[in-house]
Amino acid sequence: MGRRVFLDNASTTPMHQEIIDMMSDMMKSTFANPSSVHSSGREAKVIIENARKTIADLLNTSPGSIFFTSGGTEADNMAIRSTIQDYNIQHVVTSKIAHHAVLYPLQDLENKNIIKITYVDIDNDGIISLSHLKDILKNNSRTFVSIMHANNEIGTIQDIKKIGEICNDYNAIFHSDTVQTIGHYPFNMEDLNVHFMAASAHKFHGPKGIGFIYISDKIKISPLLRGGGQERNMRAGTENVCSIAGLAMAMQIAYKNLEEETNYIKGLKKHMIKRLKTELNDVQFYAKCTDLENSLYTVLSCHFPETDISEMLIFNLDILGISCSGGSACNSGVSQGSHVLKEILPDSKRPGIRFSFSKYNTKEDIDFTIESLKKLFR
């Protein structure tokens, strides 16, 4: 098999070897049910609570605000469905470029006539209009606001501190999908007026199938899943002990080396931008993707000239050994295209590619990818 380059780290990341080793050992040694009162069960419970405290300390919040879930999608659904039900919310604000883990449950509730959704205006970079948000909140009853921190497709970052302040001014409940930013950016929950945040371990070199929801102590909701009394009666189901430990370890590693690894990945992104601009014709970039400080440093989303290989670009790159994501606003055939790109560039048929990076990528990976693109577009 030839060289393989993985540039799809916004979809998932490779696990750190030390986490794989730790989890493997834990599966053999600490397999008891954490709800059991015997010593083996108590040992497993201690691992969970230590992980909870580790995560809380990294976010500058209390352990009581952290609840483990199966990942970001469950966390988003829990915040949305439980809050709307418990607080009899009838009006919701989100954006049309929100993740489907947010859009689909909200649209499901709207289709059942439980809520009405208002979509806040966004500019060509995907940044929401704060003035429009204020106007919406000013003229409606108590509202649930869901704005994702950073868009997974185009890398646009929202100012959740300002959004939280506006929500606080109008007594709105604020949820933010932070799946792309936790483990990649520092958080101080004492400075943010956010009621809910979602995280997923596999986005920062942890295991799949585990994440958490942050719930502010300013709000109380009922559980989405009922059954046992796990997670202080907030999330039924026997806890995945070794994955919870892996999540906490991944966050520790991420924040321990955050500045160094951020700068390293920014260097890879900068190198790729430079080579794309100078060595390929008519490559354009979505939103603020080339702004290293105001877009996800892990994501570079660009689009290429429309050619006879446009619809097969991802497939052709895969054949050449490069894993990445892509799409366009107006794909034909079975693909419906990207709902995000439809909002940013609604009439474009140019093939879009999202390259996303991690600490395990190298400059040689970038060079190999550029040379492969040059072969395809020569």
Report strand pairing: 5-6 vs 322-323: parallel
The single-letter code of the amino acid at 24 is S
Interaxial angle between packed helices 258-279 and 241-256, expressed in degrees from 0 to 180 and rounded to the nearest 10: 70
* Tokens describing residue 202: 């596999």
Residue 69 CA to residue 96 CA, distance in Å, equals 25
Structure tokens at 292: 């290293």
Q: Which of 289, 302, 324, 330 is catalytic?
A: 330
| 167 labelled catalytic | no
Residue 171: CB atoms within 10 Å? 10
* Phi/psi of residue 214, nearest 5 degrees: -90, 130
DSSP H stretches of helix in the chain: 17-29, 39-59, 72-86, 100-111, 130-138, 160-169, 230-233, 241-256, 258-279, 313-319, 339-344, 363-377
Count CB-CB contacts under 10 A for residue 96: 16
Nearest one of 112, 102, 43 to 78, comparing CA atoms = 102
State how far the Cα of 146 lies from the Cα of 114, in Å rounded to an integer: 16
Bridge partners, residue 94, by sequence:
119
Distance of CA 105 to the CA centre of its chain: 17
Structure tokens at 37: 């009162």
Instruction: Give the whole-angstrom CA distance, residue 135 versus residue 54.
Output: 39
Which are the catalytic amino acids?
330
